[in-house]
Every structure is written in C-alpha cells, then in structure tokens.
Amino acid sequence: MPINGFLYPGASGPAAAYEVANSVRLNAGDNPSGTVTQGTPTNVDKYTFSVWVKRADIGAGNSKIFSVQGSNANAEEKLEFNNDDIIWRQTEASAGNTTWERVTDRKFRDPSAWYHIVVAYDSSQGTAGNRCKMYINGVQETSFSSSSNPSSNLDSITNTSGRALKFFALSSNTSSQNAGAYFTEMVYVDGQQLDPTSFGEFDSDSPNIWKPIDVSGLTFGNNGFYLDFEDSSALGNDVSGNNNDVTFSNISSTDQSTDTCTNNFATINPLSIHPSSTFTISEGNLQFATSSSTRGYWISTFGVSSGKWYWEYKVTNNQARTDVGIAGAPAAGNNDPESTDTHDNVTVYLTINGQVSINSGNSTNNFYNQATSSNNIIIGTALDLDSSPNTIAFSIDGEWVTGSGTKSTTFSNATKINSFTNVASTVNGVYHFIAGDDGGDQDIGGQANFGGTQTYTISSGNSDGNGYGNFEYPVPSGYYSINSKNLSEFG
C-alpha cells in the first residue's frame, strides 16, 4: 500500500488532474550535469527547491541532485543520495567542517517509485529548526540520523550571485558523483520558503497518494526556474518565464522519457538480479550486461496477474545465449533461469537457439528457425493473462514465431503458446518479465523497452491502444505497455 504519500509502483491510484508528460533519464556513466549561474537573488536567505526523482543508481555513493561550490574548493552546499540510500542536505564551510546539515535516517532504495523532494531554506526564521525544512512525498522529515541548523540570517551559498549551481554532479568536478536517475518537475523558487503544497497534493479519494500539481502560477523570483523537460531539443529550457535556462552536458534529446510521476513505467529491477556481482545495469535500469561469463538473469520492477501486456527487448551481445520471457518471483540465491526452483517453478522463455522452455524443459524444440546468430535483433513478447488458458507469444524483428519453424507478420492464435498454464502457479499469480543468460560460458547484453524510454533508436514508433509507449514494432491489438496507468485499468 502507499506509504507516506509514496506512489506505489504497481498502480497510479486515481487519475491525476494534472499530468506530467516528460522526464529526463540520466545514466551516471555518461557523466551528465547541468549548470546555471545565479544572478542577483530576490533574497539570498530564502529559496525552495522541488523535484520528483525515480532512482536507478541504488547504493551509489554521493549521487548528486544539486551542488554549488562555496568560497573555496572544499566548501560545498549539496543535496544528494549517499551509498546508504539516505538523503543528505548539507553545507560545508571547508573540507570536513560542516556548518549545518540534514541527514535522513530512513532509506530511499525503491527503484520502481517516484519520490518528491522539497528543501525549503529561510535563515531568518526565529526557530532554528525551521531554517531548513525537508519534505518527502508531502510530509516533513523530522527524524534525522544527523542534524544541525543554519545560523540566524546565514546567506545561502546556493542562492548567492555569481555562484554556478550544478545539477547531477559534484560542483568542482562535473565528471564525478553523477546521478543515475529519472528527474521531472524540477523547480527553483528564489525569495520564498514554500511548503510542499505549492508543488503537490494528496489525492482526495486516496489520501495516502501524493501527486503533482501545476506549478506554472508560482512566483519564481529572480533566480527561479522551472524545468518540465518537454522540449527534447532543449531539455534545460526554463518555462517559468525567467529564461534561466540550465545548460546540460552529456544529456541529449534521446534522454527525454515519458516515464514520469503521473505515469510510472516498468524497468529492470536492480534489486532482483542474480547474481548481482556479475551484472551491470545502466541507462535508467533499462540496459544490462553480464561479465565473467556467468549464468544469470533479471526480472522487471512490475509484475502482472491479469491483463494483456507487450514489451520489447533488443539483444546487443551474444544472441545465441540470450533468453527472454516471463517468470514468477525469483528464488533467493539462484542464478540459473533454467532451474525449476528459480521462479517458484514457473518459467516460460524463448531461447535464441530456437526453443521455448516451459518450467525448465525445452517443451517445443525448433519452435522457430533462426538461421543465423546475430546481434541487434528485437524480441517482442505479448502476454495474455485474461484468456483461458493464458497465452504468450514471441516475435523476432516484428515477425511472430508460429511453432512450426516459421515466422509470420500476422499476430494470430497460431503464434500463441498456452501450455505454460499447466505448470505450478506463481507466487500470488504474479508474473514478471525476465531476460538472462542460459549458457553461462559467454557474456551477454541487451536493452529492455517497456515503453517509457528507449536506449536504442526507434525507427518507426508504435504506441499501445491507450497511446502509451514507443516501440519499434506494432503492439498487438488489445495489448498494452507496462505502466501504472495501464496497470490501474487492466492489471
């Protein structure tokens, strides 16, 4: 269930009156960063920063949201996640000498959830504890593992004229401490200490669900800005009216995403990778690779128990060793997607050597004839959990495999497999989407596309019947991309 205003991954809750169209997806390995130089502030002692974040780099140290360098190279004011997955809001006058800080004692390590973070600064407050307030999902943080207060009327480094406010990277080195995450609705208000109701609200029908509201009517102040990430050609465009555009580096138009805090899409779950030590997950938890030639697999963040669902997977390395399909909950410590106990005794996947494996057995040999083994093929998966029996179908570069060694551009009953319903049931009847390595003797790699954002170029562009998703090949009629709005309606 929703916790403390947190948007639970499996559902969007009631339809939001205000919809967020786009986010920016950052890959930490690309060293993404943004910069805006502050002008004369409306009030150097007051500002509010608000942003929605969906984390990808769980466990990463010093994953920056923003930072600004102070009067010397070692002085820094920052907002970040650290390697314990807690949030730091901190100012250092010099290396190791903290002037004030807020360090949460609860952890934020759900890669499937959008978090709303607000920090509101006003050093003129008579009550010291009110000089810097932090809110998560509409609720003020009051319990900290470490906390100290700004002194009275302490000028903020963040809002000082001439300072370079940096985003997603260390203030003194933009190739260090970069964030890997999705960000949207990034707002800076100069001259006011605002509470979270300026940026969001609890849903009237489901009061545990915190959702965004339209912020365009705010008074932003001289240094204020509002990034909605809707212009892919200028993702740092300030739409507040101030034209305080943020200059982005190592962030391109292809990093625009439709995975947002009002429509949350599935990704690879970095907490359910087996074995985690030999997998590399990147590009907003949509790209993976194995190393050390180890057998392993991953599952999706969202599971489904009803509905009709479609996703695509591009093989980028070693097609012959790649498996793509569905599974139940993974067994702890099991690295083998072919094992009967890996997924509570239920696994269905297409092996790229021409077989479909059902419950650890190659039930249909030569299911299709893949004459050559090559990279960059795109595998489509269509899962129907509403039919009786349930069915699953696979496509290769837009052609649906029929089970008789042939492929067809037409999606039909001849392409569907239904015998997987005759094996043991999953945990609570929930299936997850998986990909993995069935051989273990060679490295593999691939890119998942659940519809929200793509790490490879889409040459055509196809959405589902609700207009969601962006896929290389047509989505079968009645099937949908895996996101919170579709799950709320069909899942």
**Residue pLDDT, tens place only, 467-476:** 999 999 999 9
| pLDDT of 348 above 90 | no
- At 441 the pLDDT is 55
| pLDDT of 116 above 90 | yes
Nearest CA-CA partner of 174 in 282, 93, 270, 246: 246
The three-class DSSP label of residue 439 is coil
> Which residues does residue 311 pair with via DSSP β-bridges, in sequence order?
381
Q: What is the mean pLDDT of residues 234-259?
A: 97
- At 184 the pLDDT is 98
Identify which of 300-304, 326-330, 422-426 has the greatest average pLDDT.
300-304
Q: 142 Cβ partners below 8 Å, 6+ apart?
A: none
pLDDT in tens, 142-176: 999 999 999 999 999 999 999 999 999 999 999 99
Q: CA torsion 283→284→285→288, rounded to 10°?
A: 0
Identify which of 210-214, 320-324, 440-444 has the greatest average pLDDT.
210-214
Q: What is the mean pLDDT of residues 46-62?
A: 95
Domains located in the chain, CATH noted: 23-257 (2.60.120.200), 268-490 (2.60.120.920)
Output phi, psi for 28, to 5 deg: -55, -35
pLDDT in tens, 415-453: 887 755 544 444 557 888 988 766 555 667 789 999 998
| pLDDT of 277 above 60 | no
| pLDDT of 273 above 80 | no
- At 340 the pLDDT is 41
- At 414 the pLDDT is 78
Task: Report residue 345's pLDDT band, with 50, 70 and 90 as the boundaries.
Answer: very low
Mean pLDDT (the chain, rounded) = 85
Task: Report residue 278's pLDDT band, with 50, 70 and 90 as the boundaries.
Answer: low
| pLDDT of 233 above 60 | yes
Nearest CA-CA partner of 26 in 180, 202, 206, 155: 180
| pLDDT of 139 above 50 | yes
| pLDDT of 191 above 60 | yes
- At 320 the pLDDT is 55
